[in-house]
Amino acid sequence: MKNLVMLASCVVLAMAGCEKKAEVGAAVVSAPFGVTAKGEKVSLYTLKGRGGLTLEVTDFGGRVVKCWAPDKDGKLADVTLGWNTVGEYEQNGFSMGTLIGRYGNRIRDGKFTLDGKEIQLPVNEVKPAPRHCNLHGGPDGWDTKVWKVERAERDCLVLTLVSPDGDMGFPGTVTCTVTYKVLPNNTWTIDYEATTDKPTVLNLTHHTYWNMAGEASGNVLDQELQVFADKWTKTDDGLIPVKDEPVAGTGFDFRALRKIGAKADWMKAQPGLKCTDNWYDHNFVLRGKVGELKPAATMRDPKSGRKLEIWTTEPCMQMYGAQNMTPEKGLKAKAAGKTYGQFQGVALETQHYPDSPNHPEFPSTVLRPGETFKSHTEYRFTAE
């Protein structure tokens, strides 16, 4: 359990100035964002930092709808993929820009054993065969919930959710608080905190898709990526972990900054990667200790000069390359008259290993009564 309970001075500093109170600051900008299929009203909150970084966040799943970041000339562009309406988020899927819970990534057959008791979750990913797993907490996960806004200020948003015992099959009533904060140095921080009244498992992440040139500007294959990992996690055809392998000499070697598409030929030549359309939907094992803030990834667009550095206390990062956003799906972009296609963004999800409850060798994701789950991730934007 020591791997799960995370607390560092960086988390305390990031939380300073954004206390959890049931009030809305006068300086916050909010607006209606539609109504869910269940009839729930949804709002959009705009968080602005003194350095120019601006987030537009909805309480529907804690989604980041837009993230405006400056380029080397100070020009702002929205560098996240997403949609303009609640209905599109509900209908189109892809976990676009949302909080993920209770369990990010996959659990084999939706099944695990906790304290000698077998837990069965919904199996909501069955295609293409042989996939058969619980994905991102199930069909009615935390991304489908309207979170309660505890506090909203010009540069800070605090969201809470109470997930009842048995929610999507998971044991225990879990109370979760997520704090978004935009700092003056153009850094967006996320702090996750959760407690439970029964033993359960928990793996939280954020599923933002990044394009440093701006959303709907084209694919990201010529943008550069560095991942601070020496190992990646090989999976079976159902995308369930098998073992960690060295990145050296493979298409997963992002130890130095390089073009995302530079190893496309290597990826296409691997029969074992057919299950991910010979592209990225894999876990990277980050260097450093669980609970200590460390670099996870750097993404850069050479043309605009925008650079994103991701730092986290999590042990891993899942990279998904949007290969399934094919043109025939007709996914309309936020930009008027444009649609999304393959590789137009990349999701870099800080988290624990996939299927951890079934792998005792992985860092634990078990949360017990009396313990507090804490996790911290930073998105640091610069331009050069």
Domain that holds residue 366: 9-383
d(CA 252, CA 248): 8
| Residues with active-site annotation | 207, 349
Distance CA 337, CA 260 (A): 27
Instruction: Find the CATH number of the domain harbouring 290.
Output: 2.70.98.10
The answer to the question of residue 46 being in a domain is: yes
Distance CA 7, CA 50 (A): 27
Does any domain span residue 122? yes
pLDDT at position 27, please? 59
At 18, the pLDDT band (50, 70, 90 cuts) reads low
In a domain, 330, yes or no: yes
Beta bridge partners of 179: 158, 191
Q: Are 97 and 64 in contact (CB under 8 A)?
A: yes
> What is the token pair recorded at 183?
């700092």
Q: Give per-residue pLDDT as tens, 62-121.
A: 999 999 999 999 999 999 999 999 999 999 999 999 999 999 999 999 999 999 999 999
* β-sheet bridge partners, residue 151: 23, 158
- Is position 4 within any domain? no
**Structure tokens, 175:** 């109370």
Residue 353 binned pLDDT confidence (cut-offs 50, 70, 90): very high
Cα 268 from Cα 19, distance rounded (Å): 49
Using a pLDDT cut of 90, give the percent of the chain over it.
92
24 has a pLDDT exceeding 80: no
Specify the amino acid at residue 103: Y
pLDDT band at residue 28 under the 50/70/90 scheme? confident
23-24 and 148-153 beta bridge pairing? parallel
Cβ contact 8:26 at 8 Å: no
Residue 20 has pLDDT above 80, yes or no: no
Average pLDDT on 20-47 reads 81
Instruction: For residue range 198-223, list pLDDT tens digits in order.
Output: 999 999 999 999 999 999 999 999 99
pLDDT above 70 for 26: no
Q: Is residue 2 part of a domain?
A: no
Look at residue 320 and tell me whether its pLDDT is greater than 90.
yes
pLDDT score of 372: 98
* Residue 309 backbone phi and psi in degrees, to 5: -110, 130
Is 94 a domain residue?
Answer: yes
Residues 187-205 have a mean pLDDT of 98
Rounded Cα–Cα distance for residues 312 and 297 (Å): 9
- Contact indicator for 348, 117 with CB cutoff of 8 Å: no
Is the pLDDT confidence value at 4 over 90? Answer: no
Checking if the pLDDT of 21 tops 50, the result is no
| The total number of structural domains that make up the chain | 1
Residue 1 within any structural domain of the chain: no
Span 53-78, pLDDT tens digits: 999 999 999 999 999 999 999 999 99
Write out the H or E segment, with its range, that includes residue 92. helix 86-92
Q: What is the pTM of this model?
A: 0.94
In a domain, residue 314? The reply is: yes
Q: What average pLDDT does range 139-155 have in this prediction?
A: 97
